[in-house]
Chains A and B, each alone.
Chain A
Amino acid sequence: MLVNKKYVKRHTKGFVYLHWINALCFFMLFLTALPLYADTFRFLYDLLGARTLQNAHRFFAVIFVLNPIVGLITAREGIWRMFSEVLKFNGKDITFLIKFPLELIGKHPEGVPKQGFYNGGERMNIALQLATWGVLVGSGALLWFGEGLIDNSIRAWMIPLHSLCAGIGFAGSIGHIYLALVANPDSVHGMQDGTIKVDYANVHHGEWIDDMVRDGKINRQELNDALKR
């Protein structure tokens, strides 16, 4: 069933909230940690106070951890979908990953296979975010609470691990934002009210649309009418 004859339901409201809370937390965590990462941002400590920023970092860390845990109830379907899609990574995704960057520089590559609910790039991004979340939370928890619990010969390694994942996460998020806002601006709608334009979905997630038609979730006639508009 299409929404307003033009949009298809993609994400639940709970998943949209999960996404934005996660995004906000990540950037606040990154910002509050910047003075320890790069001397260029030392002025933030002078401006706002080192203790304030370090406490803010812990505050957002708690929300960063609780957000997906709460999401297991409020966004269960979306979280399940993320894991199952990542595990479906296959040869078609690799072909997509090789060809799609050409689109970013204005070329139109041929032979791009139809993509599922999440395309190959999105599946990689999900895998990256899940992995960095896990390592950030684990290493952060050991740095915060680990004194006396684990030997410092192990705890000391949490510092470069935490920094590494922060750097990877930040670079990845910049790419993520670019692809959402500039390369594929129609995709952002999915993180506004949970729906995306069906013509966009048909081009970028054709396999998903085909599955929904086959499963009777979208009527074929309805789809054809929407694509003609």
Chain B
Amino acid sequence: MAQEITMLHDVARCSACRACMVACKQWHDLPADMSTPFEGQYQSHKDLTSTTWNLIQMHERVDGAGKFHWDFFKKQCMHCGDPACMNGCPEEAIEKKAGGAVVINPDKCVGCGYCTANCPFGIPKVDAESHKSTKCDLCYDRIAEGMEPACSKTCTADAIRFGSQADMLARAQERVDILRAEGHPDANVYNPQGVGGVHMVYVLPEKPAVYGLPENPQTPASINIWKDVVRPVGKIAGVGAIAGVLGLTALTAMRGKGDK
């Protein structure tokens, strides 16, 4: 059985050099992306797009003590343990690989966009040209060849690490302990269990909300209700209605009645 892998972004070490963004584009042959509006700041894109799967968010803030902070956060697919995108895909086009990477199969994807609505982090984007949903695939093809993802290989600040889940979680906890000792009492490992844990964990110096992350994201219960209740009941109701009226029509014809 393949070992479960995890990528770690240590927000405290990130220098926002964005080599990881370039490496991602290079490995996946993604084009330069001018689709999001330039907002007069250093952050390259407003949000992830169908051709930008990895974004370093650069957020300026002033804390309660009046101290300025510039937070660099690597936004990408979280590769959830219980992926909402996969569960809610009507075409079963999304698969969780043995190591934990969540990957969209473009041959099966029909671009319906259900994954974009179901993802608690708003990650997948449907490409306007190809009409396929896209997102970070954790370089599952490189992993299968014993390599690490392009972004972690390229990282200049040792902020992106990749390895076994046990190693990465242990490293993350070590880093959080150091940050707390250095005056970041809210430092935490972001590995939300409401989505089945993630294979993209973060060392956060501050609480998740500071980085725009949900405190306690959940794989939506609406997916199971849709799959296990609404769709089957809808099919039964539809078929039942047709069968019912055909039966009544036959009965009416046999009795030679109608309201004429």
Binding between chains A and B: yes
Indicate which residue in A37, A38, A146, A156 contacts B222 across the interface (CB closer than 8 Å).
A156
The yes or no answer to A89 lying at the interface (CB within 8 A) is no
Contact B241 A171 (CB under 8 A): yes
Across the interface, which residues of B come within 8 angstroms of A184, CB to CB? 259
Q: Provide the residues of chain B in CB contact with A170, threshold 8 Å.
A: 234, 237-238, 241
Chain B interface residue count, Cβ-Cβ cutoff 8 angstroms: 48
- A185 nearest CB across to chain B (Å): 6
Smallest CB separation, A98 vs chain B (Å): 18
A: contact size bracket:
35 or more
Q: How many A-B residue pairs have CB under 8 A?
A: 126
- Please indicate the chain B residues that have their CB under 8 angstroms from the CB of A157 in the complex: 220, 222
B255 with A106: CB separation less than 8 A: yes
The interface of chain B, by Cβ under 8 A from chain A, is 47, 84, 88, 90-91, 110-114, 116-122, 131, 214, 217-218, 220, 222-223, 225-226, 229-231, 233-235, 237-238, 240-242, 244-245, 248-249, 251-252, 255, 257-260
Is the pair B259, A183 in contact by a Cβ cutoff of 8 Å?
yes
> Can you report 7 residue pairs joining A to B where beta carbons are below 8 Å apart?
A50-B111, A50-B131, A159-B114, A167-B237, A174-B241, A175-B241, A185-B259
Interface SS of chain B: helix, strand, loop or mixed?
helix
Residue of B with least CB distance to A183: B259
Complex contacts, A200 vs chain B, CB 8 Å: 259
Q: Which residues does chain A contribute within 8 Å of B117, judged by CB atoms?
A: 143, 146-147, 152, 155-156, 158-159
CA distance A185 to B260 in the complex (A): 7
Instruction: State whether A159 touches B259 (Cβ < 8 A).
Output: no
Contact A156 B88 (CB under 8 A): yes
Inter-chain CA distance A168–B245, complex, in Å, is 15
B259: chain A residues at CB < 8 Å are 183-186, 200
**Would A36 and B245 count as touching, CB distance under 8 A?**
no
Q: How far is the CB of A41 from the nearest CB of chain B, in Å?
A: 11
Other 9 A-B pairs with CB < 8 A, given A104-B252, A164-B234: A146-B117, A148-B47, A155-B117, A159-B88, A163-B231, A166-B234, A168-B237, A185-B259, A185-B260
Chain B positions within 8 Å of A153 at CB level: 120, 214, 217-218, 220
* A219 beta carbon closer than 8 Å to chain B: no
What are the residues of chain A within 8 A of B121 when measuring CB–CB? 152
- Bound Cα distance from A36 to B118, whole angstroms: 15
Chain A at the B interface: SS class: helix
| A96-132 Cβ-contact flags toward B at 8 Å (1 or 0) | 0000000011100000000000000000000000000
A42 contacts across to B, CB distance below 8 A: 91
Contact B258 A36 (CB under 8 A): no
A159: nearest chain-B partner, CB-CB: B226
- A50-B131, A160-B225, A182-B249 in contact; A167/B122 too (CB < 8 A)? no
Q: What separation, in Å, do the CA atoms of A158 and B220 have in the docked complex?
A: 11
- Complex Cα distance A171/B240, Å? 8
Cβ 8 A contact of B226, one of A104, A163, A171:
A163
A106 to B222, CA, bound (A): 43
